[in-house]
Amino acid sequence: MLDPENEPLNQPKKLKSLDKMSIQELEQYIQDMKDEIARVEQEIKKKKAHRDAVSSIFKS
């Protein structure tokens, strides 16, 4: 049995087959990906702010 905890984090993602998707499904897929990108960008900003705050403590 495969344990997801022990799998590499940066495994290549399998590409989703787009051939059988309708235009509406493709547009929704794009919107879902844009929403996910926005979520990741927010997490990056949060982590950078935290890193900068911690870094400023150690500079004193």
pLDDT tens digits along 2-58: 566 666 677 888 899 999 999 999 999 999 999 999 999 999 999 999 999 998 888
Q: Report the C-alpha gap between 27 and 2 in whole angstroms.
A: 34
pLDDT at 60 over 70: no
pLDDT confidence of residue 43: 97
pLDDT confidence of residue 18: 97
Using CA atoms, how far residue 48 sits from 37, 43, 51, in Å, is: 16, 9, 5
pTM of the predicted model, to two decimals?
Answer: 0.69
Nearest alpha carbon to residue 43 among 51, 53, 31? 51
Burial class (CB in 10 A: 0-12, 13-18, 19+), 47: exposed
pLDDT confidence of residue 7: 67
Domain ranges of the chain: 19-59
pLDDT confidence of residue 57: 87
